[in-house]
A = this chain, B = another copy of it.
Amino acid sequence: MTMVRQTRQRQAVIEVLRASREHPDAAWIHGRVRQVLPQVSLGTVYRTLDALVRDGLVVTIERAGQATRYDYKHEGHDHHHAVCRGCGAIFDVEAADIPALPPSALPAGFQVTDVRLEFMGLCPQCGNTSAGTSQPD
């Protein structure tokens, strides 16, 4: 069987993620982890995050050209996201239940690990000025 090991760096990444609801990206997480384990590499952070996503503990918000943002699935806090195309800000959206799908809607044998509901658009800031504002979140 595939053996998964409990390492210090892995624990640190998980801890950082659990402690933040700011949808951080890999670089930010890396910085935080380094406060505790200064020599952890960005590569390790990425590998750990990938594993957490595969395990379904973490959800991603992915945008082309932008750093992927990671969101720890805190239990009892189901929610979706509103993403601003202008500045990249991510807002939590109170969970509305995902609609039930007709049994045949998904390809036969497709195993769903996660469902994302994302509202793309412009935040109040970016909606006004044609430009768009500066920094995320």
Interface set of A (CB-CB < 8 Å, partner B): 2, 54, 60, 62-64, 68, 82, 84-85, 91, 93-94, 96-102, 104-124, 127, 130
Given known A-B contacts A91-B110, A93-B105, A99-B98, A118 and B121 have beta carbons under 8 A apart: no
Cα distance A105–B82 in the bound complex, in angstroms: 10
Write out the residue numbers on chain B whose beta carbons fall within 8 Å of the beta carbon of A110. 82, 84, 91, 119, 121-124, 127
Q: Are A113 and B122 in contact (CB under 8 A)?
A: yes
Give the oligomeric copy count: 2
Give me 14 A-to-B residue pairs in the complex whose CB atoms sit less than 8 angstroms apart, sorted by A's number. Answer: A2-B130, A62-B64, A82-B106, A91-B110, A93-B105, A94-B101, A96-B102, A98-B99, A107-B123, A110-B124, A111-B121, A111-B127, A113-B121, A115-B118
A91: which B residues are within 8 A, CB to CB? 106-107, 110
